[in-house]
Structure 1
Amino acid sequence: MFQGTSLLVLDAKGRLSLPSKYRESLLVPCQGEVTLTRHPDGCVLIYPRAIWVELRSKLASLPYSARALQRVMLGSAIDVNADGSGRLLVPGDLRSLCGLNREVTLIGMGNHFELWDQAKYMQFEQAELQKGLPPEVFDLVL
């Protein structure tokens, strides 16, 4: 399970150096094979390949009314392999579509990661929290 937030920097080639605390849990089980795709909220999603394959099937079987989501997620998906230093290349097209600049935020979301432009994420988070929490979270015991 992936959790936590890391403030990182993409290198000049658009590579993301995974924090050491995530390298083993993300890269070892999938032999460094991950899939990157776009989320409608404007971030890059990073899935271990096996988890993506399951999700891809579910996305592909959605009804035509979900075509916009299919276009965003399936149409942007790209398979990448981590290099020997635990870096992932975030392709230029995906960086542009998600507005990623040099400073990024990596967020563990259970079975995948979200990768956000740092400034964009701060604005997004603030706007979402101002909306208030959904009623479902009040059933959680904290």
Structure 2
Amino acid sequence: MVFQGASSLSLDAKGRLSVPTRHRDVLSANAAGQLTITKHPHGCLMVFPRPEWEKFRDRIANLPMEAQWWKRMFLGNAMDVDMDGTGRVLISPELRQAASLSRDVLLLGMGKHFELWDKARYDAEEAKAAQEAMPNVFKDFSF
């Protein structure tokens, strides 16, 4: 299960997100449509298929006490959701507020999970990042 690509989507009036068809089948087959959504430190949300969340959760739970606030951010804000029959998931009001999600959102495949961004915020952050020097990890990377 590797997710990639961007999908411009809209939250409905109840805060539901319609999972793109290309991901829906994989999520149904590999995670029984069960997802976990939590905060990301960069101001978006992370959306995990439940099996991947369980691996991530265990890694976070085993961090030392000096990482307690990070544990609170990731674990304390995690919400389990299920895709409904039409492939929608409800983003809780608390998580929508935490990520400043408006109607227009962007779902990014990030390998084993997704990031869910407010579209305007993502565009601004991407433009800002494009103005900065590339990190050293790309020094020997060929494009």
* TM-score normalized with structure 2 length: 0.94
Tell me whether 1:32 sits opposite 2:41 in the alignment: no
- Residue aligned with 2:23, SS: helix
> Counterparts of 2:121 and 2:67 in 1: how far apart (Å)?
26
> Counterparts of 1:107 and 1:127 in 2: how far apart (Å)?
18
| Structure-to-structure mapping, 1:86-125, within 5 angstroms | 86-125=87-126
Amino acid at match of 2:55: E
Alignment partner, residue 59 of structure 1: 60
> Counterparts of 2:28 and 2:97 in 1: how far apart (Å)?
25
- Residue aligned with 1:139, SS: coil
Segments of 5+ residues of structure 1 without an aligned counterpart are none
Alignment partner, residue 16 of structure 2: 15
Number of equivalences: 142
Higher mean C-alpha deviation, range 123-132 or range 27-36: 123-132
Q: Which runs of 4+ in 1 moved over 4 A?
A: none
> Counterparts of 1:28 and 1:93 in 2: how far apart (Å)?
29
- Residue aligned with 2:139, SS: helix
Amino acid at match of 1:130: Q
Amino acid at match of 1:118: K
Amino acid at match of 1:70: K
> Counterparts of 1:139 and 1:2 in 2: how far apart (Å)?
25
> Counterparts of 2:68 and 2:131 in 1: how far apart (Å)?
30
Identity in percent: 44
Alignment partner, residue 42 of structure 2: 41
Tell me whether 1:133 sits opposite 2:140 in the alignment: no
Kept after mapping to 1: 8 A contact 2:39/2:77: yes
Aligned CA-pair RMSD: 1.1
- Residue aligned with 2:42, SS: coil
- Residue aligned with 2:80, SS: strand
> Counterparts of 1:126 and 1:120 in 2: how far apart (Å)?
10
* TM-score normalized with structure 1 length: 0.95
Kept after mapping to 2: 8 A contact 1:27/1:48: no
Kept after mapping to 1: 8 A contact 2:11/2:103: yes
